[in-house]
Chain A
Amino acid sequence: MNPTDNAFILVCAALVMFMTPGLALFYGGLVRNKNVLSTIMHSFMMLGLVSVLWAVVGYSLSFGTDIGGFIGGFDFAFLNGVGMGVEGSPAGNLPHLTFMIFQCMFAVITPALISGAFAERMKFSGFMIFSAAWLLLVYAPMCHWVWGGGWMGEMGALDFAGGAVVHMSSGAAALACAILLGKRKGYGREPFIPHNLPMTILGAGILWFGWFGFNAGSALAADGLAANAFVTTHMATAAAVLSWIIAEWVHGGKATTLGAASGAVAGLVAITPAAGFVTPMAAIIIGLIAGVLCFGGIMLKNKFGYDDALDVVGIHGLGGTFGALATGVFASIGAEGLLMGNAHQLWVQFVSVVATWVFCFVMTVVIFKVVDALVGMRPSEEDEVRGLDVTQHSETGYQL
């Protein structure tokens, strides 16, 4: 065990944990004030629900002994054999518990990301059951495929910190949920104006901060690779902030604070799969493209007519997909991409993108249909109009 690496990864785990309340604020500010608490709850509750599920069985399904390249076994269920030493740890320099809790924080934020798609119109009971099922049936296999010794990692797909596992998977799930759940009442007729943008900006800032743990920590050591991932993360994000607001400007509007915050998240998402494989200069190019691309991505929902309330598909789905492909183009550290003359890498990335989208979309549809039949996913029209805070949680965010 390497004490330096251990200290670093434990701190990174705490940083990643902080992203989830950051996401709660990011999303919370974007909804109308009658739904601020329910939206915050969608993220915050994952800290409770997913953490326990992860310890009971989620970690084992992701990192237990490989079964056919598809899923992990039950050997680490109830954290059996996950101890203070390095025995059984997928990272030989880290105590098994350290590796487990770092991965736990990734599992927590992923279902929380989806919640942006069904914000303002999801029953809390349906949400809880859906999220638990999604974690075990979609996240755990995805995590196993890419990082746990499954087929996608074996194929050579590069995903440094979760472009496929976290962002594409949540983006694909978001698309399925938005389509199945239908539009919010009044969508397209009434204005849906964010009720507290300063809250959203603060949330974006916390996400940016926590993302250093997410990406640099994914080096799984306090080394130069971690430093590279830290720098690429920052540079891509900064570049995406610039390119998003420039796109807004050119598109005929004004530079908005929401645009700057959205650009930051787009850049963070896009660099996630690439962070340890590309140089800082390549990261800036990735960020510049991601900002413009995701600005276009959020327009897609108007074109296709689904109500992805907080643009999870446009930012995480599209940004994650672009990041995965960009990794296949720009990889030059520890792997070779298209620009290094290795076109095969881009093909492998493409296969991983298609497989991730199809698997996550189809599984989400199945889970959604089952939970909808069991407890119902959408509140009554009257409850939705009154707001989810008072109807789902018996409280209101603001007393005025």
Chain B
Amino acid sequence: MKKIEIVTRTFKLDDVKHALSELGVTGMTVSEVKGFGRQGGHREVYRGAEYQVDFVPKVKIEVVVEDERVPELVREAKDAAFTGNVGDGKIFVSPVDEVVRIRTGETGDEAI
């Protein structure tokens, strides 16, 4: 099992969610996050005083899937979140040792 974490622009959330749903993903966890990468932050101005805001808001989508589905999900998620500009975000894939469905006690792939 793998966890796919997609960190991308907030307005791309719906597109990515739709793309993953089309491929049969039945659950995901979404959070509003802040951070910076090559895009850096941005400037804000209050009563003429300029501030550098380092952390820009992004959305993080987490799904856990069977190993064999990873390549197509990553590909579709990447396409859905793509704008071509700096700040599109990143996708991280990492191994997951175990999954437990709390209600039934199922484990492994069955619990996803």
A residues apposed to B, CB below 8 Å: 191-194, 248, 251, 253-254, 256, 258-259, 262, 295, 298-299, 302, 311
B residues apposed to A, CB below 8 Å: 44-49, 51-53
Bound-complex Cα distance A392 to B45 (A): 30
Closest CB in chain B relative to A277 CB, distance in Å: 30
Q: Judging by beta carbons under 8 Å apart, are B52 and A191 in contact?
A: yes
Q: Judging by beta carbons under 8 Å apart, are B47 and A259 in contact?
A: yes
Q: What residue of chain A has the Cβ atom nearest to residue B47's Cβ?
A: A298
Q: Judging by beta carbons under 8 Å apart, are B48 and A193 in contact?
A: no
* Residues of A contacting B45 in the complex (Cβ-Cβ under 8 angstroms): 253-254, 256
Q: What residue of chain A has the Cβ atom nearest to residue B50's Cβ?
A: A253
Q: Judging by beta carbons under 8 Å apart, are A262 and B47 in contact?
A: yes
* Residues of B contacting A191 in the complex (Cβ-Cβ under 8 angstroms): 44, 51-53
Closest CB in chain A relative to B37 CB, distance in Å: 20
CB within 8 A of A194: which of B46, B48, B52, B53? B46
* Residues of B contacting A259 in the complex (Cβ-Cβ under 8 angstroms): 47
Bound-complex Cα distance A302 to B45 (A): 14
* Residues of B contacting A248 in the complex (Cβ-Cβ under 8 angstroms): 48
Closest CB in chain A relative to B33 CB, distance in Å: 15
16 interchain pairs, CB-CB under 8 A: A191-B44, A191-B53, A192-B51, A193-B46, A193-B51, A194-B46, A248-B48, A253-B45, A253-B48, A256-B45, A258-B47, A259-B47, A262-B47, A298-B47, A299-B48, A311-B47
* Residues of B contacting A311 in the complex (Cβ-Cβ under 8 angstroms): 47
Q: What residue of chain B has the Cβ atom nearest to residue A190's Cβ?
A: B51
Bound-complex Cα distance A70 to B42 (A): 54
Closest CB in chain B relative to A315 CB, distance in Å: 9
Bound-complex Cα distance A256 to B47 (A): 8
* Residues of A contacting B48 in the complex (Cβ-Cβ under 8 angstroms): 248, 251, 253, 295, 298-299
* Residues of A contacting B46 in the complex (Cβ-Cβ under 8 angstroms): 193-194, 256, 258
Q: Which 8 A-B pairs rank lowest in CB-CB distance, beginning with the nearest?
A: A191-B51, A253-B45, A298-B47, A299-B48, A258-B46, A194-B46, A193-B51, A298-B48
Bound-complex Cα distance A254 to B52 (A): 16
Closest CB in chain A relative to B99 CB, distance in Å: 29
Known: A191-B51, A193-B44, A256-B46. 16 other contacts (CB 8 A): A191-B52, A192-B51, A248-B48, A251-B48, A253-B45, A253-B48, A254-B45, A256-B45, A258-B46, A258-B47, A259-B47, A262-B47, A295-B48, A298-B47, A299-B48, A302-B49
Closest CB in chain A relative to B85 CB, distance in Å: 21
* Residues of A contacting B47 in the complex (Cβ-Cβ under 8 angstroms): 258-259, 262, 298, 311
Closest CB in chain B relative to A253 CB, distance in Å: 5
Q: What residue of chain A has the Cβ atom nearest to residue B52's Cβ?
A: A191
Closest CB in chain B relative to A77 CB, distance in Å: 42
* Residues of A contacting B51 in the complex (Cβ-Cβ under 8 angstroms): 191-193
Closest CB in chain B relative to A246 CB, distance in Å: 14
Bound-complex Cα distance A193 to B44 (A): 9
Closest CB in chain B relative to A96 CB, distance in Å: 42
Max count, chain A CB within 10 A of own CB: residue among B45, B47, B49? B47
Bound-complex Cα distance A298 to B46 (A): 11
* Residues of A contacting B44 in the complex (Cβ-Cβ under 8 angstroms): 191, 193
Q: What residue of chain B has the Cβ atom nearest to residue A315's Cβ?
A: B47
* Residues of B contacting A194 in the complex (Cβ-Cβ under 8 angstroms): 46
Closest CB in chain A relative to B36 CB, distance in Å: 14
Bound-complex Cα distance A275 to B39 (A): 51
Q: What residue of chain B has the Cβ atom nearest to residue A302's Cβ?
A: B49
Closest CB in chain A relative to B73 CB, distance in Å: 32
Bound-complex Cα distance A192 to B48 (A): 12
* Residues of B contacting A262 in the complex (Cβ-Cβ under 8 angstroms): 47
Bound-complex Cα distance A311 to B51 (A): 17
Bound-complex Cα distance A259 to B46 (A): 8
Bound-complex Cα distance A54 to B32 (A): 50
Q: What residue of chain A has the Cβ atom nearest to residue B53's Cβ?
A: A191
